[in-house]
Amino acid sequence: MKRRLVLTVATVTTGVVIWGGATSQGVPWRAAQADPDTSPMAGINSRTFRSAGYQVTPPSADDRKAAVVSRDEAVTTVLHHGQDTYPGPDAKVREAVLVDVSDSLGFHCLCWAVSVLPTRGIWSHAGPAGNTQGRARGDYSVWFVDASTGEALRTLEGNLEP
Amino acid sequence: MYLSSLLDKVCVCVCSVPPKLSGGSATLHSINPPRLLVLALAIALISASTGLPFGPSNQAHASPNCNTGRPSGFGYHWAGSVRSDSYVGGVYAYIENYNRPYVDPSAAPVTMWSMLDNAGAQGQRYAQIGWWEDTGQNRYLFTEYTNNTWTGSHWAYQQQIYWNINPLNGFSYYSVYHDNTPGYFTMLYNGQPIALGQAFFSPTEAQILGETHSLKSQMPGGYGGTNGANHAQVTYANVWVGGGWQPFAGQPVDEGGLWGLQGWSTTAFDIWDKACSS
């Protein structure tokens, strides 16, 4: 009984020491837990946007008033983008959210972020010669549609960051 | 025959084209787009007045949107040139926005681009910029680069398509710099930074290529025309090697005679689809 008690105390102590060390050293899994995702989109996290060089945040109440293009209009713009076959009128809309988008090169807009699954899927469009790793498949495709003009500005797509 | 050896034979004054650098301490920051454009204009005028076979041609293309007669089906195909070294810190080229290739609707798009890459043991990593054409003759600018996550089959990538930038006809500068912004790749369109990608690898290769995803699609360019006027042209191609800009002088990328490839100098070459006549 006494031996079992000693063993239990030792196990708990070891666990506390390891946990404390991990916390003080900023071990990645602790840091990840302490870094709540601030993405306004359910399916695309902030790390993915940052990886692509973008900051995507919820708009302020004042900014929202500047949106003259409706969500439905933005979705229609994406699905019927000119005569494009991409993403295609049969693409599946995953979500459409009003966001503030900016990058460090001066791009900024109040945009509808329309996340879609294109009819022909999400694929890398070009890669290096001699590529032996096969065709790269993406996880997400999000279109930024200007909420003031209704113009499709950019599409960002690729793989989600874990 | 290696393109570089072919290029050496015809290299005349274009070999001195690299942009103005600020002495021995030149860095990527010393690139001067306005001077580059002035230089490009001067060379184009010289070329036009002398008839020398280099520099962009103003002649109209006669072989767009051609039916190649080849079968459909997904597969990567490339034509162009590749330059390797222990470190390649930048690449730029004045690439023709070819008007226009036929695009197999089942395996779009057709593209031309410049790239920095590194053929690592676990698949290739890269940063690139170029034009791409979708089915329906829709033309856009794109950037793409890999980051630091291995998905199990490829390096995770991030791609951007700029719907309001439509490079069609004429030429544009497509550039990729490593560490110009420390820790990042910078993709530039006509000298303007348009995308930043965190740099997780040290580039050892530059590529300037046309690419299709189906044999049925047309590799940019068609044969024929005076001085290769129907080709898709690449000129003012340079790489950052050994601490300075150098003529690209790369190795050819061809596929069993399907594509034409002609070097005009160490900084200029053409590609075309041999199935597309003028």
CA distance A77 to chain B (A): 12
Q: What is the DSSP letter of B24?
A: G
Q: Which residues pair with B79 in a beta bridge?
A: B210
- Contact list, A138 vs chain B (CB under 8 Å): 157, 159
Residue B206, chain A, CB below 8 Å: the answer is no
The predicted model scores a pTM of: 0.79
User: Residue B278: its pLDDT value, please?
Assistant: 53
Are the CB atoms for B178 and B89 separated by under 8 Å?
A: yes
Higher pLDDT: A30 or A101? It is A101
Mutant choice from B74, B132, B140, B161 vs A, greatest count of A C-beta within 10 A: B161
Sign of the Cα torsion B207, B212, B215, B219 reads: negative
Given a cut of 60, is residue B145 above it in pLDDT?
A: yes
CB B97 within 8 A of CB B168: yes
B3 pLDDT tier (thresholds 50, 70, 90) = very low
**CB of B63 within 8 A of CB of B214?**
no
For residue A106, count CB atoms less than 10 angstroms from its CB and return exposed for 0-12, middle for 13-18, buried for 19 or more.
exposed
What would the pLDDT profile of A77-95 be if each residue is shown by its tens digit? 999 886 666 787 788 999 9
Using alpha carbons, list the distances in angstroms from residue B109 to B35, B97, B245, B261: 34, 14, 31, 21
Q: Tell me the residue length of chain A.
A: 162
Average pLDDT of chain B to the nearest whole number? 80
Q: What is the pLDDT of residues A99-121, one digit of tens each?
A: 999 999 999 999 999 999 988 88
Query: Do residues B72 and B104 touch, judged by C-beta distance below 8 A?
Result: yes
Q: What is the pLDDT of residue A4?
A: 59
- Check B198 against A133: CB less than 8 A apart: no
CB pairs under 8 A between A and B: 131
Count other Cβ atoms within 10 Å, centred on residue B5.
Answer: 11
Residues of B in contact with A158 (CB under 8 A): 144, 156-159
CA distances from B83 to B18, B258, B267 (A): 16, 21, 11
Rounded Cα–Cα distance for residues A93 and A143 (Å): 11
CA pseudo-torsion sign B133, B138, B142, B147: negative
Give the rounded percent of residues in chain A with a pLDDT score beyond 90: 53
CA angle B104, B58, B16 (to 5 degrees): 105
- Supply the ipTM of this predicted assembly: 0.77
Identify the CA nearest to B126 among candidates B117, B114, B139. Answer: B117
